[in-house]
Amino acid sequence: MAGEVVVAGAKNSALKLAAAALLAPGRSRITNVPDISDVATMADVVAGLGAVVEREDHALVIDATELTSYEAPYEVVSRMRASIAVLGPLVARLGRARVAMPGGCAIGSRKVDMHISGLQALGVRFAFEHGNIEATAPDGLHGATVTLEFPSVGATENLLMAAVLARGTTVIENAAREPEIADLAAFLGALGARIEGAGTPTITVTGVESLTPADHRVVGDRIEAGTFLVAGALTGGPVTVRGVDSAHMEMVLVKLEQAGCHIETEPEAITVLREGPILPADIQTLPYPGFPTDMQAQFMALMALAEGSCVITENVFENRFMFADEIVRMGADIRIEGHHALVKGVDSLSGAPVRCPDLRAGAALVLAGLAAEGETEVMETTHIERGYERFVDKLAALGADIETREE
Ligand code: UD1
């Protein structure tokens, strides 16, 4: 595989920006929005609250002049956990919210306790009834200092979106530092919010009375970019990804270099080339700027073919090694012990029918299939469509031998 691929806007940013648009009465326009099914789901969530949503080519126009509901029902939250991002904006704008409890998830029990305790500190009262989170703020929101136990992305975002309309100053300590948080803060800033320190562990928000709509371009998707870079690393490349800020990918690039790849960066483009063997590189997932958990499965696919052994440690989610079970069926030698995976590189993988356990593991199985001998049939690809726009077309354009068949 060789050539260039342009990555879409970040899924994990676009979803939260759509929720944030609820904070500002009027028409906000979000551009560089990926054409993926999770965005369609978020558009449904936001429309269900009364906002008027128009989908344009890679853009969402959200008119939040009038909200007619404060409820995100189970039907949507169970489809997409990120729907919980409307909790903060709804309590901030309407003083109440009803959001279904997300429930179990394929990658370990993903709790919302930090979302709840953080918002409580801002004056939100909670009740849990009939599987719903009932949030009310009868006296409005007030600023507070909240120290997160862990730099949760979702909790940081919900707190940020609530704090912008709270009375006084909110300080979020141990905040998540992901580029998507900085992107959200930039959009909120364009709406008129006063935020300092987004992208650092301490975010300070000075509440304002109201916000006004704005336009914003979604930051490039560093996980999509990383996925194509691993595809290049597996097959040799050179593969160039465009549309992503290479500064957002430092740890992934370091690990690709340790794995024997040559990396070249320009501000908005990264090229990977591998001439020698794949070398083993230990990985541990951590909150940003550590190695992203959303790249763990793709890297495991690469390490499965390394010349030697390595340890992959998952620190962010409880149970995120479902990919290993599938790739072992293709001949990989991987042993799981708690939150460590011991990966012994093998000379080759052999194509097999496999099932996507989730979004990133699904993408990683496709990459493994590209590197494997013979045909690999990857089933249940709707997981992949949640987060990758035209994944098969983009891989085919790079020269991959890949096609879509109806299941
Ligand atoms: C977001 C991303 C996801 C990514 C993850 C970590 C979106 C839509 N999803 O998920 O792709 O893998 O960040 O980079 O943006 N936790 C608690 N209590 C809480 C909140 C979280 O215990 O209140 C735990 C979770 O169970 C998990 C860890 O903290 O083990 C990280 O979760 P978090 O950073 O919140 O991830 P998400 O926002 O759900």
Distance (Å, whole) CA 56 – CA 367: 31
Which ligand 1 atom minimizes the distance to the CA of 287?
Answer: 14
**3-class DSSP string for 263-292:** EEEECCEEEEECCCCCCCCCEEECCCCCEC
Percent above pLDDT 90 for the chain: 93
Report how far ligand 1's centroid is from the alpha carbon of 181 (Å): 13
Which ligand 1 atom minimizes the distance to the CA of 176?
Answer: 34
Distance (Å, whole) CA 138 – CA 12: 31
What are the tens digits of pLDDT across the range 185-207?
999 999 999 999 999 999 999 99
The residue contributing the CA closest to ligand 1 atom 27 is 317
The residue contributing the CA closest to ligand 1 atom 2 is 12
Burial 289-305 (b: 16+ CB within 10 A, else e): eebbbbbbbbbbbbbbb
Cα-based torsion angle of the residue sequence 98, 103, 109, 112 in order, rounded to the nearest 10 degrees = 0
Ligand 1: residue of 36, 152, 295 to mutate (most ligand atoms within 8 A of CB) is 152
pTM over 0.85: yes
Residue 345 has pLDDT above 70, yes or no: yes
Q: How many CB atoms lie within 10 A of CB 100?
A: 19
pLDDT interval class at 371 (50, 70, 90): very high
Q: Sheet of 52-56: strands edge to edge? A: 52-56, 59-63, 27-31, 215-217
Ligand 1 first shell, C-beta below 6 A: 12, 15, 82, 110-115, 150, 152-155, 293-294, 316-318
Position 318 scores a pLDDT of 87
Report how far ligand 1's centroid is from the alpha carbon of 150 (Å): 10
Ligand 1: residue of 314, 316, 359 to mutate (most ligand atoms within 8 A of CB) is 316
Report how far ligand 1's centroid is from the alpha carbon of 154 (Å): 6
What are the tens digits of pLDDT across the range 83-126?
999 999 999 999 999 999 886 555 566 789 999 999 999 999 99
3-class state of residue 368 by DSSP = helix
Ligand 1: residue of 87, 110, 227, 285 to mutate (most ligand atoms within 8 A of CB) is 110
Catalytic residue flag (residue 310): no
Please list, in sequence order, all residues whose beta carbon lies within 8 angstroms of the beta carbon of residue 304, skipping any fewer than 6 positions away: 327, 332, 333, 334, 343, 345, 346, 349, 368
Report how far ligand 1's centroid is from the alpha carbon of 384 (Å): 19
Residue 391 has pLDDT above 80, yes or no: yes
Retrieve residue 371's tokens: 């590197």
Retrieve residue 221's tokens: 């998707």
Position 30 scores a pLDDT of 98
